[in-house]
């Protein structure tokens, strides 16, 4: 009874007095349980056995990859599920006399939140900030906040999505009269070099039952934090209501926000009630102008600017959805250094910190709210909640992001459609009339700016000029695996070279393929998509990165592009890359670990001024025949480049402006040694880079960057310190001090080992990284030191050029002084426990397993083990291996979604790993097909085999996006050895398409594959 009286007294104080606003980081000290836990919303539940953690958190990323995982190939073979979070806390003196809110930056998805057993609310969308009022249910002691996150319906996106509370959580305490969350709206309607007009609109809530007389004071601070204007005005505000107050300022000689000098001003809003200040709200903004012109494109501060952009998922890169602030900044910085000036938040909003960083770093943003306005993935927001929640989520997003100068255009959807488009645009213009609205090829007739995805890559797209401002929202689509090369051109859809309307030509670099190493031997891939893609900019859907840039640069109406993508990301592994074991989409200029691909340097050569040269490919080719002519490219922004081979000049070349002349190029007969590029401006050397032939892996090179989230980068090098570009040994990490490993990543798209909860991972093409998070707990200076020991058994898995093995272990400091260590290594080669002291390299025979143990003095740190035998690691192919591995050219039926059908492998002549047999069942096979362009008519080619006795063939039902038709499959000579094709035209929508072939009655023909042309 006393507690109840005290609580009533506290709540009364909250509603009457005038205390300062308080914002509290609420990320620490949460309890987590994976799986449903009925009754977990009740404060009496015993959660002592639950895991303790600090937010942000993504349980799906922490979980294993699995071929049958709920997110399927779309989500990179990660799980979904249900998770619970609980946090116990006492009432703080700081919150007395306040309204107390809990704010979540991001929870995926279907969250419900309780305080002390009382349901506060639910939010289906996984990419939106939201808050709840805790005040009515707070008690003096032992408050329990409980959050249930439901990702049980999967796949809930077309790419990998995180699961859990992946954003920050804050507790916000405000006076009864306060500025509403996201309630300050700042616009700059008039801007010149002499003067800028700044309009400030402030929403103030009065939660008291009576009217109050307040003073609203608004201050304007310049980018240096100096006060340049102050206005105070008294207002009367009614009880239990919200009122909006306008204030105008003029700023002399405004400092413009732009990509090179992102100057940020600040509005400070203060409320005074009964002579006492009730706290303040700070809102940053930038003074800049933006406009879109049909003829000339995008303008920033009255300067014509090409949008040199990329698309990126929130989850892209090395750590999943729960990316710490420092890693978000790291990703943006890498893109800035490439010359990128814009990011499209495909296909959902990012966390608030992302926009703050873009404001500070000068990165333009195409801010996108939805993927689909209806179902695209089987259980996505478009299916589960869009119709009921779209307007509430749309308005919350617009209000949250409207003050960010980095946001230059709103995007409402991606490859979707429906009559709702007009309403979406209406709400955008209502909430923010200052910005234009676009979409990724969705409801374009209603948009201010026409956004076009893959259709903008087709030659026929350029037969006309747009009748409204245009931007390529998703182009180009090219793929590359870091450090992997092929001289033969590859089109995703197998376009013939003469299909000049659908794809731009890209000639082969050599008549015969000269590179034959691969991730798997012939037959190790199930279809033609299960390959690594070349880094020569010759693997694509319709257009190379170079041609796309040429068009964008030279066409005045072409505002810019957002290439797909900046970073590689988990998911979409089936449709583009053929499915398991491929886990990731490889379209980034940077891989999953943030390592730069050759493509990165192409953009840098076109988009930056600092002198640079970059050579590809590397110069280590252990099985290549001497004298083989290798296309050597150099990307450079210099006037001219000279190439040297072992000190001898091979001549100079100048980077051109045409797409196939942008790289300097030489055909160089292969011989070991060093190839070196020297860049000149005005006849003077300004840049130099080289590639040297490497020996077998023999040591590690370790570097560390970062503060709160350090990144350890490890390179495998030969005895001379030269990177071995094929090294794939397992790298081990031992972390000492208050830090944990968030992720181990190397960029390998077919490595399905868990990134989390492990201390080792294989290098990929010579490189690997560990991503750490330092503890937020305050400790003494001595205990605050963090260091690591990194080790590996180095050698070629197949002993291809050398049977010599080295073992290396190195210590590195992460925070604080270098810790003195006495590292000792013991090893064995006969399968026994490692007891032989390691003093230097040694030779082994094929079939040897090397074991090693690393100690710091007498303290054991970690074990290592590496096998060396024929058939391990990369496949070192032959001239026929590429053709053999690509016999299957379509989407294989055995990889599609099957109902009442089985996969068979007897017979001959089938493509891939088998074919589908319905037996005597009523069954179906369903393919998923994405169309990143406009709706179009395509040809569907079904490869089949079968002989219906007593009949000329069998009918089967075709259902394309719900539209049914009947096909007739004529008999082939036999079942399973003679294969024919049935072709039919069908209409594909923009975005997701579902193609279903089902039996009519019981049984049907054997189905081998589908080719969409």
Which sequence positions are flagged as catalytic?
415
Distance between CA 722 and CA 717 in Å, rounded?
5
Cβ pair 60, 71 in contact under 8 A? yes
**Of the candidates 979, 1010, 1012, which has an alpha carbon nearest to the alpha carbon of residue 895?**
1010
Distance between CA 878 and CA 516 in Å, rounded?
6
Cβ pair 517, 568 in contact under 8 A? no
Q: What is the DSSP letter of 513?
A: -
* Three-state secondary structure call for residue 555: coil
Residues 6+ apart with CB under 8 A from 868: 795, 796, 797, 798, 799, 803, 805, 844, 846, 847, 848, 849, 850
Cβ pair 96, 140 in contact under 8 A? no
Distance between CA 570 and CA 367 in Å, rounded?
21
What sign does the dihedral 205-209-211-213 (CA atoms) show? negative
End-to-end CA distance of the chain: 75
**Of the candidates 465, 451, 489, 301, which has an alpha carbon nearest to the alpha carbon of residue 882?**
489
Residues 6+ apart with CB under 8 A from 93: none
| 11 CB neighbour count, 10 Å cutoff | 16
Distance between CA 361 and CA 332 in Å, rounded?
8
Q: Which secondary-structure segment (H or E) carries 278?
A: strand 276-285
Max CA separation in the chain (angstroms)? 98
Q: Where are the beta strands (DSSP E) in 390-484?
A: 407-414, 436-440, 450-452, 470-472
Distance between CA 309 and CA 342 in Å, rounded?
4
Distance between CA 1009 and CA 916 in Å, rounded?
9
**Of the candidates 715, 708, 855, 861, which has an alpha carbon nearest to the alpha carbon of residue 786?**
708
């Amino acid at each position: 009874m006393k507690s109840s009286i005290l609580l009533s007294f506290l709540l009364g104080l909250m509603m009457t007095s005038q205390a300062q606003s308080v914002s509290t980081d609420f990320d620490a000290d949460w309890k987590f349980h994976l799986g449903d836990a009925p009754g977990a919303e009740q404060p009496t539940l015993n959660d002592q056995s639950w895991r303790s953690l600090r937010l942000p958190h993504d349980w799906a990323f922490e979980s294993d990859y699995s071929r049958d995982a709920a997110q399927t190939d779309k989500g990179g073979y990660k799980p979904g599920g249900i998770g619970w979070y609980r946090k116990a806390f006492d009432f703080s003196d700081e919150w007395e006399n306040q309204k107390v809110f809990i704010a979540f930056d991001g929870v995926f998805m279907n969250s419900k939140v309780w305080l002390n057993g009382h349901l506060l609310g639910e939010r289906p969308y996984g990419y939106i900030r939201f808050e709840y009022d805790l005040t009515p249910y707070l008690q003096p002691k032992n408050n329990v906040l409980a959050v249930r996150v439901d990702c049980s319906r999967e796949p809930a996106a077309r790419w990998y999505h995180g699961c859990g509370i992946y954003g920050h959580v804050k507790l916000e305490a405000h006076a009864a009269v306060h500025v509403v969350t996201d309630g300050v709206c700042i616009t700059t309607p008039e801007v010149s070099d002499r003067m800028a007009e700044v309009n400030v609109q402030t929403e103030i809530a009065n939660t008291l039952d009576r009217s109050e007389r307040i003073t609203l004071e608004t201050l304007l601070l310049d980018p240096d934090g100096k006060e340049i204007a102050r206005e105070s005005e008294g207002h009367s505000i009614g009880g239990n209501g919200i009122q909006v107050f306008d204030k105008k300022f003029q700023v002399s000689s405004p400092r413009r926000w732009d990509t090179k000098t992102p100057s940020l001003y600040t509005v400070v809003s203060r409320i005074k009630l009964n002579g006492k200040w009730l706290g303040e709200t700070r809102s940053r903004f930038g003074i800049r102008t933006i406009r879109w012109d049909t003829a000339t494109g995008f303008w920033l501060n009255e300067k014509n600017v090409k949008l040199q952009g990329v698309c990126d998922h929130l989850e892209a890169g090395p750590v999943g959805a729960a990316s710490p602030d420092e890693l978000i900044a790291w990703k943006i910085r890498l893109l800035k250094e490439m010359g990128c000036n814009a990011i499209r938040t495909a296909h959902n909003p990012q966390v608030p910190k992302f926009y703050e960083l873009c404001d500070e770093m000068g990165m333009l943003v195409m801010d996108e709210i939805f993927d689909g306005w209806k179902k695209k993935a089987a259980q996505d927001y478009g299916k589960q909640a869009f119709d009921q929640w779209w307007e509430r989520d749309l308005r919350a997003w617009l209000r949250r992001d409207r003050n960010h100068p980095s946001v230059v255009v709103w995007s409402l959807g991606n490859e979707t459609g429906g009559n709702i488009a007009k309403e979406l645009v209406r709400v955008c213009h209502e909430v923010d009339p200052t910005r234009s609205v676009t979409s990724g090829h969705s409801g374009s007739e209603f948009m201010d700016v026409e956004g076009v995805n893959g259709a903008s890559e087709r030659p026929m797209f350029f037969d006309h000029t747009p009748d409204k401002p245009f931007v390529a929202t998703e182009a180009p689509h090219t793929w590359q695996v870091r450090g992997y090369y092929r001289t033969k051109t590859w089109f995703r859809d197998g376009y013939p070279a003469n299909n000049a309307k659908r794809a731009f030509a890209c000639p082969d670099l050599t008549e015969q393929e000269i590179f034959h190493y691969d991730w798997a031997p012939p037959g190790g891939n199930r279809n033609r998509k299960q390959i690594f893609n070349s880094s020569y900019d010759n693997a694509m859907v319709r257009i190379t990165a170079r041609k796309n840039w040429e068009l964008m640069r030279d066409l005045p109406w072409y505002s810019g592009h957002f290439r797909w993508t900046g970073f590689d990301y988990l998911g979409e592994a089936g449709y583009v890359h053929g499915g398991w074991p491929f886990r990731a989409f490889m379209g980034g200029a940077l891989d999953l670990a943030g390592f730069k691909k050759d493509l990165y340097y192409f953009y840098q050569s076109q988009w930056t001024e600092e002198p640079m040269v970059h050579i590809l490919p590397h110069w280590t080719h252990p099985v290549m025949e001497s004298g083989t002519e290798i296309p050597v490219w150099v990307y450079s922004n210099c006037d001219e480049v000279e190439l040297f081979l072992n000190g001898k000049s091979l001549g100079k070349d100048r980077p051109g402006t045409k797409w196939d002349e942008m790289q300097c190029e030489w055909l160089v007969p292969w011989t070991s040694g060093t190839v070196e590029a020297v860049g000149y401006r005005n006849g003077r050397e300004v840049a130099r880079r080289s590639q040297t032939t490497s020996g077998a892996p023999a040591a590690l090179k370790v570097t560390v960057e970062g503060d709160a989230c350090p990144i350890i980068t490890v390179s495998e090098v030969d005895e001379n310190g030269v990177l071995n570009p094929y090294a794939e040994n397992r790298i081990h990490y031992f972390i000492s001090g208050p830090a944990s490993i968030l992720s181990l990543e190397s960029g390998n798209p077919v490595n399905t080992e868990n990134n989390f909860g492990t201390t080792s991972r294989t290098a990929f093409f010579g490189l690997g990284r560990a991503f750490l998070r330092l503890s937020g707990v305050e400790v003494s200076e001595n205990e605050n030191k963090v260091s690591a020991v990194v080790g590996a058994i180095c050698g070629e898995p197949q002993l291809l050029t050398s049977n010599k093995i080295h073992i290396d272990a190195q210590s590195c400091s992460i925070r604080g002084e270098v810790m003195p260590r006495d590292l000792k290594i013991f090893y064995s080669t006969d399968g026994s426990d490692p007891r032989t002291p390691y003093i230097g390299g040694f030779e082994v025979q094929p079939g040897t397993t090397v074991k090693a143990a690393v100690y710091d003095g007498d303290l054991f740190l970690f074990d290592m083990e590496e096998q060396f035998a024929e058939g391990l690691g990369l496949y070192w192919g032959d001239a026929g291996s590429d053709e053999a591995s690509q016999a299957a050219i379509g989407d294989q039926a055995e990889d599609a979604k099957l109902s009442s059908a089985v996969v068979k492998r007897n017979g001959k002549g089938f493509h891939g790993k088998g074919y589908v047999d319905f037996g005597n069942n009523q069954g179906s096979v369903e393919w998923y097909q994405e169309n990143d362009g406009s709706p179009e008519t395509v040809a569907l080619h079904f490869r089949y085999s079968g002989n219906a006795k007593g009949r000329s063939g069998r009918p089967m039902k075709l259902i394309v996006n719900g539209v049914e038709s009947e096909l007739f499959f004529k008999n082939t000579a036999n079942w399973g050895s003679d294969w024919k094709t049935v072709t039919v035209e069908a209409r594909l929508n923009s975005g997701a398409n579902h193609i279903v072939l089902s039996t009519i009655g019981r049984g049907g023909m054997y189905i081998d594959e589908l080719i969409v042309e």
